[in-house]
Amino acid sequence: MGSRYGLEMTVVPRYPWVEFYPICVRGIARPGQRPWWMLWALVAIAQLPVALAQALWVILKVRPRVIIGFGGYGAFAPLLWGVLFRIPIFLHEQNVVPGVVTRLFAPWAKKVFLTYPQTARWLRAHYVVVTGLPIRSEILYAHADHARFGLDPQKKTVLVFGGSRGSQLLTEVALQAHRLLREAQFLIITGSNSSTTAGEGVILVPYIHEMGTALATADLVICRAGAATLAELAALEKPAIVVPWAGAANDHQMSNAKSLAHLGVSIIPESELTPQRLVQEIQTRLRQTSSGLYAFAGHWPAKMHVKRSLPRRSLALHSILCEVLHHATKEHDAASLPWDRRRRHEWVGQSLF
């Protein structure tokens, strides 16, 4: 289940084996996030009853025995019904500072899976497990392909992206930096709403589905500090310059970035991001990679070495599935239970569908 207005509406249909149910839910805007933020916040609140009704319909139709929430506003409605119907719920928090949904439902969760151990101090959870963040195999085992993006294989490649929707700030500063730095070529993911034009040595694309190939092709990455992005960079041991998004709730992106700062990731706050500063950092990082000084091996935690420790599967994903399936196997099949012993959503759903 996910938001009808989120990126999942375009990404999930690419995986036909996923049964996806979109619901009308939006994140509640905060000051500074977008123009007319208060109006958008009221729209999000007004749509909440609709999202709850849609999530209830899915719960009754699917009759789940377990619900896993990965944070974010899209998880609120199904998790709420899970608590009310006493369906076992599990949570995974990807950021250092947990979101509102994770904090709210942590006391009712069977287990809360964490990417970072320090997140536990924010939660009133009965049981937490540090698993790391699941990483797709297509990220871990992708190969460089300069021709796929129209890049010169003889030049250093800098990949710039600002999350799923892009970042106008990163795009503009990167373009200005490229004018001062001609020895590298830039591949910039702009997002669907960008109207920026490219110059020589710059490739602009609105979105890349083959993100693993893009990361494998890049010699250096400039990006935001989303938890998934940082986990992928860590697993790939990819040199990076991170610009945390200042509008993130509880400044969690800066917390994410600081958690990896001791491993060699450069951090530039938005207030200090200038073309000159970016050029300086790029030159330093590219010089280190060329000389072999930028060696991640031996510095990343053992949990991050998912490529070596668990072939063909993310160690984090394996840990989460083992925990959930262990609990699910202890549950009897609802069809074999007497009518009066089934959970309310099961017998109501069975009578409706």
Could you read off the pLDDT of 249-269 as tens digits, one per residue? 778 899 989 887 776 789 999
Decide if pLDDT at 148 tops 50. Answer: yes
- Based on the domain organization, do 150 and 216 belong to the same domain? yes
Model confidence pLDDT, tens digit, residues 278-317: 999 999 998 887 665 554 443 333 343 333 333 334 678 8
Q: Is residue 62 a contact partner of residue 319, using CB atoms and an 8 Å limit?
A: no
Q: In terms of pLDDT, which residue wins out, 1 or 138?
A: 1
- Based on the domain organization, do 59 and 158 belong to the same domain? no
In a domain? residue 316: no
Q: What is the mean pLDDT of residues 175-179?
A: 92
- Based on the domain organization, do 146 and 293 belong to the same domain? yes
Short-list 96, 242, 279, CA closest to 161: 242
In a domain? residue 280: yes
Residue 308, pLDDT score: 38
Residue 170 one-letter amino acid: L
CA–CA dist 294, 179 (Å, integer): 25
In a domain? residue 116: no
Residue 347, pLDDT score: 61
CA–CA dist 283, 184 (Å, integer): 9
- Based on the domain organization, do 181 and 291 belong to the same domain? yes
Q: Would you place residue 83 in the very low, low, confident or very high pLDDT band (cuts 50, 70, 90)?
A: very high
Decide if pLDDT at 334 tops 60. Answer: no
Q: What is the mean pLDDT of residues 88-109?
A: 94
CA–CA dist 19, 39 (Å, integer): 33
List of residues 6+ apart from 9 with CB closer than 8 A: 2, 3, 22
Q: SS3 for 211?
A: helix
Q: What is the mean pLDDT of residues 177-184?
A: 89
Q: In terms of pLDDT, which residue wins out, 131 or 192?
A: 131
In a domain? residue 320: no
Bridge partner residues of 106 (DSSP):
none
Q: How many residues does the chain have?
A: 353
- Based on the domain organization, do 163 and 84 belong to the same domain? no
SS3 of the chain: helix, strand, coil, percent, to 5: 45, 10, 40
Residue 312, pLDDT score: 37
In a domain? residue 322: no
In a domain? residue 227: yes
Q: Would you place residue 194 in the very low, low, confident or very high pLDDT band (cuts 50, 70, 90)?
A: low
- Based on the domain organization, do 11 and 63 belong to the same domain? yes
Structure token digits, residue 229: 């992005």
- Based on the domain organization, do 299 and 225 belong to the same domain? yes
- Based on the domain organization, do 348 and 255 belong to the same domain? no
Element (H, E) at 76: helix 76-84
The alpha carbons of the chain give a radius of gyration, in whole angstroms, of 22
Q: SS3 for 315?
A: helix
- Based on the domain organization, do 49 and 175 belong to the same domain? no
Residue 207, pLDDT score: 86
In a domain? residue 68: yes
Bridge partner residues of 113 (DSSP):
92, 129
Number of independent structural domains in the chain? 2
Boundary of a domain, candidates 306, 323, 343: 306
Tell me the CA distances in angstroms from 54 to 44, 58, 193, 201, 330, one per residue in order: 15, 6, 29, 48, 29
**Ordered alpha helix ranges (H), 237-299:** 252-261, 275-291
Q: In terms of pLDDT, which residue wins out, 217 or 308?
A: 217
Q: SS3 for 243?
A: coil
- Based on the domain organization, do 146 and 58 belong to the same domain? no
In a domain? residue 173: yes
- CATH number of residue 294's parent domain: 3.40.50.2000
Q: In terms of pLDDT, which residue wins out, 25 or 250?
A: 25
The domain of 77 spans 2-88+331-352
- Based on the domain organization, do 181 and 275 belong to the same domain? yes
List of residues 6+ apart from 60 with CB closer than 8 A: 345, 348, 349, 352, 353
CA–CA dist 11, 345 (Å, integer): 30
Please identify which residue in the block is written with the tokens 């151990």: 117
- Based on the domain organization, do 52 and 161 belong to the same domain? no
Of 62-76, 86-100, 179-193, 292-306, give the lowest mean pLDDT range.
Answer: 292-306
Decide if pLDDT at 30 tops 90. Answer: no
